[in-house]
Amino acid sequence: MSRDIQLKERWQHLVNLLSNQFSQGEDLDLDAIIYLIGVQELGKLHQTYEKDEKLNLMHIAICR
């Protein structure tokens, strides 16, 4: 199996896991997954964020 196919299958598996846990059957897009990573990195899981704060969380996820 080529590396690209393997990577694509692993990515789809991750998307399915996160989508089942965080959305109602809808596949999460890349931005949503990056947002979740930012929330995890910040460590404040049970908080509501405004739009600017969500963008900052995405920035945290990408830069760390």
Which pLDDT tens digit goes with each residue over 28-44?
A: 999 999 999 999 999 88
Task: Give the span between the Cα atoms of 63 and 58, in whole angstroms.
Answer: 9
Give pLDDT, residue 6.
95
Local structure of residue 27 (DSSP, 8 states): P
Distance, C-alpha 6 to centroid of its chain: 20
Q: By three-state DSSP, how is residue 10 classified?
A: helix
Distance, C-alpha 20 to centroid of its chain: 12
pTM of the predicted structure, to 2 decimals: 0.82
Asked if 25 and 7 count as a contact pair (C-beta separation under 8 A), the reply is: no
Those residues of the chain that have pLDDT short of 70 are: 1
Give pLDDT, residue 8.
96
Distance, C-alpha 36 to centroid of its chain: 4
